[in-house]
A and B are shown apart, each in its own frame.
Chain A
Amino acid sequence: MSIEISDLKVNIGDQPIIKGLNLTFPKGEVHAIMGPNGSGKSTLAKVISGHEDYEVIGGKITMDGVDLLEMEADERSREGLFMAFQYPHEIPGVTNANFIRAALQARLPKGEELDAVAYYKQLYAEMDKLEMDRKFTGRAVNEGFSGGEKKRNEILQMAMLKPSYAVLDETDSGLDIDALKVVSEGVNRMRSPERGFLVITHYQRLLDYIVPDVVHVMKGGKIIRSGDKSLALELEERGYDWVLDETAA
């Protein structure tokens, strides 16, 4: 049981962004992706989630053996895929509570109504764990949220939707030290043999909290090296050029 990406090639317009990428992350594990700005990490996350702006010109992505590229973004989500956005979008006028409720409702068979009482109970419990004020239920999704509040809100949605696979795109950036801890604990609570994570980050610090099983280095639209968590420490010390050198050698 895993998400398997093989020889993925993605263009934006005529511009190749991902150039033959291979990556597998199974349930039960946390994989981290690190890599320089512009190397294609967010592009990869969005392609896995089904953003239509990106043209997949080659390769495959499967989730538990099912071809993801054949599915619309919403179908992928309902099948158990979640992405925490690097830049979460605002939805004017739609309250957080209504939005998450609609997302859960979309997962139920037609005609079945979400139990509102149980829903709010769960929502409040998850918000308490993430130390989010109750007032965020009534505020429009991400509208006027601070950078850190938006990231916390992504984790709240993940906790409510309970995906099988989650791709977290720079969920740590913009968080203060305390928030980083709260958010990391939120992720750690969800770690389970039934769930796989792909964590995109620039900072080793996050990986002190969310300890990864595997660290990948992405550069120029490819995974150029994979290793255990010590790779992240090495990257922090020596930067990315060194990795490129080594693979080139």
Chain B
Amino acid sequence: MSAAEATSAIDIDRSVGDFSYPESHEFDAGVGLTDKTIDYISGVKKEAEWIREFRHRALKIFRDKPMPTHWASDDLKEIDFDKIRYYLAHGQQPTRSWDDVPDDMKETFERLGIPEQERKFLAGVEAQFDSEAAYSNVKESLQKEGVIFVNSTEGLREHPEIFRKWFGKVIPTSDNKFSALNSAVFSGGSFIYVPPGVKVSHPLQAYFRINAENFGQFERTLIICDEGSEVMYMEGCTAPKFETTTLHSAVVELVAMKDAKIQYITVQNWSANVFNLVTKRGVAHENAEIRWIDCNIGSRLTMKYPGVVMKGRKARGEVISIALANDGQHQDTGAKMIHAADETTSNVVSKSISVGKGRSTYRGQVHIPKHLKGCKNNTECDALLINTKSKTDTYPAITVRGNQHATQHEASVSQVSEDQIFYMKQRGLSEAEAMSLSVNGFVNDLVREFPMEYSVELKRLIDLEMEGSVG
């Protein structure tokens, strides 16, 4: 595939994402969050009683937990939970055919290029519009092998025997204020089960689209890879530019059983008024591998620290992340590696770019207890500052007990030097092109970890962000 083709295939740049259709929701839980909101959501979804109770318990925990402003940004105070709408949908049942998707949604996803990508390289797609999936489909061959790829409503309703066991177990409701919020009002997201030994050769993709203003999107994703199976899941996200703040607060739980392998790839390109507060964690059993490959562009504030609990011997966890904080944005990202068995290995590589008055923060946590043997961690975090007002800070917390482990930690902060820019300008590149190329060079080794279709798009997104950042 040529670069030009790939670019048109995944057009999620902000100028393309910045459009919206008039709202016409059949289901609307109204503004603000009370017990009634939860009963409404649970009611329209026709949920089992245990889920309704789960939600109510979560709401109580959410209310009791303070905002984590003692360690995180004060900007969180700007979120007014009473002004947000928690559930907006046309219906609760996604269609299996694009032809049956309502016109405005279909056009939205067509403009974002989703149906085209599905034809080209995906094994399954879920397209969520505000609170519910509008479209969801998985290749027939995979269904025959027993692969389940549905939204959370359907997953809990049709397959409780598979999903209930793990639901809310990797990330307990009380993990943090926003995991509690999600647990109270969750809607949409993907539920995936891959049976033993099945290796899904093409990626499954979910696309999360916010169309409505003053809205909160709370998808809930649970992926279970049974013994020896493999899957690659990709998610993309956009929202139009609204004047008011929008909240995106997802919970994503991964379970990789013995010898299984999950790769979870995110390319988010939120508009600059979105608070993106996401909790992501996976459990890797014996000799299993979980990789989070994450690219955070846009949003007003992103707080996201994907984690892996390495529960079985020789389990491996990895977080590869790129964050770009432009003017007025704060990317507060990192990784959490919990070693809970012998000979487990974790790797964290984080690169951040701060542009203009943008700020990026790395928060890492690596935990290796004393009684374990032969664990390894490698942590690298590099920050690139583009302008003199750009900011970065790093909080690595590496707790290693005992002396039978190998850990390595490297951090760097660099700037693109004026002489480097001059050298590139002398060859004919404009200042903006020189800056873009330098930034792309900085993240180059990480971009290679993304599938080709995404890496081309990433490069283009970075170019767009760098435009107008110089001078």
Contact = CB atoms under 8 A, between A and B. Distances in A.
Interface of A: 46, 49-53, 72-74, 77-78, 82-83, 85, 88-94, 98-100, 102-103, 106-107, 113, 140, 157, 161
Given A74-B431, A102-B437, A140-B441, A90 B425 contact: no
Contacts of A99: 424, 427, 437
A77 B437 contact: no
A106 B441 contact: no
Contact of A74 (B419, B430, B443, B444): B430
A89 B440 contact: no
A103 B424 CA distance: 8
B420 A74 contact: no
Contacts of B428: 74, 77-78, 103, 106-107, 161
Contacts of A102: 429, 433, 437
B438 A94 contact: yes
Given A102-B429, A106-B427, A107-B428, 14 more contacts: A73-B422, A74-B434, A85-B426, A91-B437, A93-B442, A94-B440, A99-B437, A100-B427, A103-B428, A106-B428, A106-B430, A113-B4, A157-B427, A161-B427
A93 B425 contact: no
Most A CB within 10 A of own CB, among B423, B426, B444: B426
Nearest to A157: B427
Contact of B438 (A77, A91, A100): A91
A232 B160 CA distance: 89
A127 B267 CA distance: 38
A73 B426 contact: yes
A146 B434 CA distance: 24
A93 B4 contact: no
Contact of A77 (B4, B420, B426, B431): B426
Interface in B380-436: 417-420, 422-431, 433-434
Nearest to A76: B426
Nearest to A83: B426
Most A CB within 10 A of own CB, among B4, B423, B433, B445: B423
Contacts of A98: 437
Contacts of B434: 74
B430 A90 contact: no
A103 B427 contact: yes
Contacts of B429: 74, 102-103, 106
Given A74-B429, A77-B427, A99-B427, A93 B444 contact: yes
A116 to B, nearest CB: 8
Contacts of B4: 113
11 contacts: A49-B426, A50-B426, A72-B425, A73-B425, A77-B427, A77-B428, A90-B420, A93-B442, A98-B437, A106-B433, A161-B428
Contacts of A93: 440-445
Contact of B423 (A53, A78, A85, A140): A85
Contacts of A107: 428
Most B CB within 10 A of own CB, among A52, A89, A90: A89
Contacts of A82: 426
A-B pairs with the 5 shortest C-beta distances? Answer: A93-B441, A94-B441, A89-B423, A77-B428, A93-B444
Most B CB within 10 A of own CB, among A93, A102, A103, A157: A93
Nearest to B422: A51
A94 B433 contact: no
Interface residues of B, number: 25
B3 to A, nearest CB: 8
Nearest to B446: A93
Nearest to A73: B425
Most B CB within 10 A of own CB, among A85, A88, A92, A113: A92
Interface string B65-77: 0000000000000
Contacts of A46: 422
Contacts of B422: 46, 51-52, 73, 89
Nearest to B444: A93
B296 to A, nearest CB: 19
B444 A94 contact: yes
A206 to B, nearest CB: 22
A100 B423 CA distance: 12
Interface string B232-245: 00000000000000
Interface in B430-471: 430-431, 433-434, 437-438, 440-445
A46 B426 CA distance: 9
A78 B437 CA distance: 18
A84 B433 CA distance: 20
Contacts of B443: 93
Contacts of B433: 102, 106
Contacts of B430: 72, 74, 106
Given A73-B422, A102-B433, A113-B4, A91 B441 contact: yes
A98 B425 CA distance: 15
B423 A77 contact: no
A72 B431 CA distance: 10
Given A74-B431, A102-B433, A102-B437, A91 B426 contact: no
Contacts of A100: 427
Contacts of A113: 4
A52 B471 CA distance: 13
Interface in B1-43: 4
A239 to B, nearest CB: 32
A92 B351 CA distance: 14
Interface in B291-314: none
B86 to A, nearest CB: 43
A143 to B, nearest CB: 10
A211 B430 CA distance: 35
A157 B434 CA distance: 16
